[in-house]
Amino acid sequence: MISKKSVCKRIFLYLTILLLLCLFIFPIYWMIIASLKDNSVLMRNPPQLYPTFSTFDNYMTMLGNAKYLGYIRNSIIVASGTVIVDLILSVLGGYSLSRFNFPGRKTIMIAILSAQIFPVVVIIISLYGFFSKMKLMNTYTGLVLADVAMSLPLSVWMLKSFCDNVPMSLDEAAKIDGCSRWKTLTYIVFPLLKPGLLAIGIYSFLMSWDDYLIALVIMNKSGMKTLPVGIAETFLGEFGFDYAGMMTISVIASLPVLLLFMIFQKYMVSGLTGGAIKE
């Protein structure tokens, strides 16, 4: 029998959680409904709290503007490039750190993680001069390279912990059967890393999609600007009072990452927590 008191307690618990959740989610709700309203409605007092679906004009304006489409295209190219390079490097590096015992292995692992302490501002101050000399300013290659370096520390660590979970006996069996080291990695271990690769791929996509500071310095030609830089430039400048437009582009910028996250959230969470939680 469940007592009345414990039922009340449970209801209270769920209500508390629900209330907290509403507080967390409310800004996202507010952003989405604002994108579907006209500025004249948004500047009303009291504010209209419920969603209306009468106008998609804001989206038409944004997506009909070649300037914004250009920003989106650049962001997609850079983020995809970052994901691909980050995946290749972290598979190689993570597998190496998981399987082979060589001198300096521990030091390398700590050094990789310590990279996050370095001020990004100092890095870009130097990169500005260096990339100018190497003709990497305003190139996808330059920004992808920088973005990869930012997401790689955690990617390598995550992949190492995913590799640790692949039984060593597989490698040994492959070796006995005459499989070379490279083939063991590509044919035996790699296919088993798929959930880990998803987590790392999404993580590096999120990082690159989010990057503002590095892109701000490296991509200063208008045709090469990424979405965050383009958004900031437009809506903190001449369109500072176009809140409907601001929220619309915000939804457009959030949608790809929100969707990716919602579809693959299971892998994401295990990737985030896997490296930090040890049995």
Partner 1 sequence: MGKNRINIGHTLTEQTKDKIFGYLLLLPTFAVFAIVVLYPIVYGIVMSFFNYTFFTINKTPTWNNFGNYINIFNDGFFQYLKNTLVFTIGTVGIELIVGMGVALLLNLSIRGRNLLRSLFLMPWTIPSIVVALLWSWLFQAQFGIINYVLKFFGLIENANTEWIQSPSTAMLTVIIAVVWRQAPYMLVMILAGLQSVRKDLIDAAAIDGAKPVKIFFKIKIPAIRAVLGTTIITCVMSSFQQFTIIYNMTAGGPLGKTTTLSIAAYKKAFTNFDLGSGAAIGVIWLLILGSAITIYNIKTKRFDVE
1 versus 181: smaller Cβ distance to partner 1: 181
Is there a contact between 203 and 268 (Cβ–Cβ < 8 Å)? Answer: yes
Please give the Cα distance from 51 to 44 (Å, whole number): 14
Please give the Cα distance from 144 to 121 (Å, whole number): 17
Residue 169 beta carbon to partner 1: minimum distance, rounded to whole angstroms:
10
Residue 261 beta carbon to partner 1: minimum distance, rounded to whole angstroms:
5
> Where does this chain touch partner 1 (CB under 8 A) — which range of 50-58, 64-72, 190-198, 240-248?
240-248
Is there a contact between 109 and 200 (Cβ–Cβ < 8 Å)? Answer: no
- Give the per-residue contact string, 42-71, with partner 1 (x = CB under 8 A; - = no): xxxxxx------------------------
60 versus 255: smaller Cβ distance to partner 1: 255
Residue 4 beta carbon to partner 1: minimum distance, rounded to whole angstroms:
18
Is there a contact between 204 and 89 (Cβ–Cβ < 8 Å)? Answer: no
Footprint (CB under 8 A) of partner 1, residues 126-185: 126-130, 132, 145-146, 148-149, 152, 156, 164, 168, 171-172, 175-176, 181-182, 185
Please give the Cα distance from 251 to 206 (Å, whole number): 15
* Angle separating helix axes 66-99 and 140-164, nearest 10 degrees: 40
Q: Which amino acid is at 42?
A: L
Residue 156 beta carbon to partner 1: minimum distance, rounded to whole angstroms:
6
13 versus 60: smaller Cβ distance to partner 1: 13
Q: What is the phi/psi pair of residue 96, to 5°?
A: -60, -45
Footprint (CB under 8 A) of partner 1, residues 2-31: 13-14, 16-17, 20-21, 24-25, 27-28, 30-31
Q: Which of 185, 182, 242, 227 is nearest to 39 (CA)?
A: 242
65 versus 210: smaller Cβ distance to partner 1: 210
Structural tokens at position 11 = 């209801």
- Give the per-residue contact string, 97-126, with partner 1 (x = CB under 8 A; - = no): xxxxxxx-xx-xxx-x--xxxxxxxxxxxx
221 binds partner 1 (CB under 8 A): no
Residues 6+ apart with CB under 8 A from 33: 50, 51, 52
